[in-house]
């Protein structure tokens, strides 16, 4: 058996390593999205009705916000891997429309502080 040397340049090897790291991040982000969507589904299943009770709104809104952030993280990582079409994610993970609509919207108070900005 002959020993062939790889003709990959150091830059090619580094690019391959980056691609592996990007792809390996998809698993944990996908599981985080699944967990957030499952928590929202459990909340809705445990509270039958229209969900309009005042005491339920903040808890449900927090779950929707958490799921939308998880969706955003997952979609951004997929795009970094070259997977641009998020319709598959929305369908395969059964993402509720309200979660998809909030994707990328940071929860209140999570943005940059106004104290650090110059007027």
Task: Give the list of residues 6+ apart from residue 30 with CB closer than 8 angstroms, or none.
Answer: 74
Answer for the pair 51, 83: CB distance below 8 angstroms, yes or no. no
Answer for the pair 99, 38: CB distance below 8 angstroms, yes or no. no
pLDDT at 24: 79
pLDDT at 119: 43
User: For tokens 């928590």, what's the residue?
Assistant: 39
pLDDT at 10: 87
* DSSP helix/strand/coil, 21: helix
pLDDT at 96: 97
Task: Give the whole-angstrom CA distance, residue 118 versus residue 55.
Answer: 38
- Sequence ranges of the domains in the chain: 15-107
pLDDT at 104: 84
Closest CA to 58 of 107, 9, 111: 107
Q: Please identify every stretch of the chain with a pLDDT value under 70, giving residue numbers as ranges.
A: 1-6, 48-52, 107-119
């Amino acid at each position: 058996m002959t020993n062939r040397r790889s003709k990959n340049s150091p830059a090619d090897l580094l690019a391959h390593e980056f691609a592996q790291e990007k792809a390996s991040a998809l698993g944990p982000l996908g599981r985080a999205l699944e967990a957030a969507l499952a928590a929202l589904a459990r909340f809705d299943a445990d509270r039958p009705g229209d969900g309009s009770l005042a005491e339920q709104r903040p808890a449900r809104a927090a779950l929707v916000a958490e799921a939308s952030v998880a969706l955003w993280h997952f979609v951004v990582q997929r795009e970094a891997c070259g997977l641009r079409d998020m319709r598959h994610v929305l369908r395969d993970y059964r993402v509720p429309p309200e979660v998809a609509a909030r994707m990328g919207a940071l929860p209140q108070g999570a943005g940059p502080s106004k104290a650090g900005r110059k007027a």
